[in-house]
Structure 1
Amino acid sequence: MRALRLTGWGTPPELTEVPTPEPGPGQVLVRIAGAGACHSDIHLMDWTAEEAPPAIAPPFTLGHENTGTIAALGAGVSGWSEGDPVAVYGPWGCGRCRPCRLSAENLCERTGELGGLGGGLGFDGGMADYELVPDQRLLVPLGDLDPVAAAPLTDAGLTPYHAIKAALPLLVPGSTAVAIGVGGLGHMAVQILRELSPARIVAVDTTEEKLTHAKQLGADAAVLSNDEAAPAIRELTRGVGAELVVDLVGAQPTVELAGAVVRSGGHIAVVGIGGGAVPVGFGLLPYDATIAGPYWGSAVELREVLALAAAGRLRADVERFALDDVMTAYEKMRAGRLVGRAVITP
């Protein structure tokens, strides 16, 4: 089968032929229908060995946002049949520690011992014709959802959902939520905010095209990300700031903007991995403001995300690419020319 393999840090991945895996006991082989291309894949390509997380090591197949149909079942797998449409839950933990037993494998206590963080992140992922899933607990029924359109929901939908859900007590009527960066993750964050809360939604981005898209999806206000962004958001909130700021970029300018517009008692969720840092200490942020670095979400939350999509209340706007054209997708992502999410369709 074909697979997009990362063979070393700081090197471009290679589309190559590899043997099709056969599922062993407890394992499931998934024929991939859609594999989302994520900006974190670009970090994997660009990192040096010193910059890369110690829990991950090449070689492995990229792709951690995956959907498809069950192609084969290993011995002992029950409750599933060949041909079932499934989404693959992305973070693969030990399955035994307390967070894992709560379905929060994104917070597994033993990730440093496992050799990877999930498919496409140390283990072989879905940028291939097939993906070998090590345990049936990592599958979620997809139902009637279009598997290509649903692939980004497993990360680009799940991650902002997890971040926003934790802050829902702050989002009362009259509150404000700010989404910084309304591209692949951000355009879904806007929809999630619209569906889960009564908050006024302020979208922030560097391009008018993405801001227009965000308003079409439910944002109440759109602000260009420049030197005037913080005063504009302050004015929208009558000077008090926002209850929630979700930074989907995480670069230094955006985390500084988040710190400048959060209100006292508000919350900042830095979802993007752009390398920025928010200063924390007495007087450095508004009083009682909190900050978190959300990572993915639980398998139960993925079910909730897919339920929103099945109800027609959440969608990923996708641009489809053949596996042979996968590097074109990443080039468009690097150039900022994707409005929604790129999905590879082996």
Structure 2
Amino acid sequence: MRFLCILVVLFVGLKAFSQDSVSVPSIDTTQHTKDTLTIIGVGDIMMGTNFPEDKLPPNDGDFLLKDVESVLKSADVTFGNLEGTLLDSGGIPKKCNDPKVCYAFRTPARYVKNLINAGFDMMSLANNHAGDMGDEGRKSSMATLESAGIVHAGQMSQKTAIFEKEGIRYGLAAFAPNSNCVPLNDLQGAVQIVKELADTCDIVIVSFHGGAEGAQYQNVPRTNEIFHGENRGDVYKFSHTLIDAGADIIFGHGPHVTRAVEVYNNRFIAYSLGNFCTYRGISVNGVNGLAPIIKVFTDKQGNFFKAEITPTYQTYATGVRIDMQKQVIKKIQELTKKDFPESKTQIDDNGLITYLAQ
């Protein structure tokens, strides 16, 4: 399979296979010698906006992720969800039926340096803010990430992404119930996408933006969630179905709060990673300001070994900070016990996640 990967790379010249399928922005064909892989996932990232008024952090936000850079860089692959657009100016702001519950974010493209410095490899663009500045914003976000060497997935023009690192081929698919995003609620279509990635990749990572929003929606209901008239999906059914189709890790986001985690068929699911780095425009009060950095340990086939939670909190003044009180660990413990009482997933007080296979 790795010989085939090299042939593909020579053929495409490190470019995308096609506009709507996969991309290979950078390739490292070094033989992988480790038996254990590590993949980090975090939630929503919005590093400030200059629309409709200036709500940008000082010094281009270089402090926002500084406290957790070493943690984020500690994995083989690091993933996040980019809320908003990377665009300096212009764009056509999206129109909202209810402006009171609708926001648009435009982050200067140069802020991508913060993602580079933090070691991000993969970003989801499947969410309700990817189209905040219309097609110009989408194109700018994609081009900016690509120029930074960060792969992305989730837009209809770039549904999935593939890249190699140390001889391991990783695939990313991202889904959301929003316009121009790969549809979360087309389960049959999602299964087909994941199966195709599983056929060509060693590790398949799935991102979804789903579930209702807010502190009152921290639980996973195992049914379709309707929020402001929009079907935000049945994230429980979605996650289990895609693992059955070949996904190895699933990172959820969208509710703006942290949700439970689960190990299903020896594969890891985080149902919502919360607000990770969201400077103004998105509330970080109370539980909205608590988020995990989750580091998943697997073998080369994606089988779950363990996971580790690094607890964080954020304020507008300090950016993301490690939480010595470990508040989000306690929250995930509580939610996981309540939402998945039948699960053999265990979380200790230091954030170690283990699984007793049945």
- TM-score between the two structures when normalised by the length of structure 2: 0.27
TM-score (norm 1): 0.28
Which structure carries more helix by proportion? 1
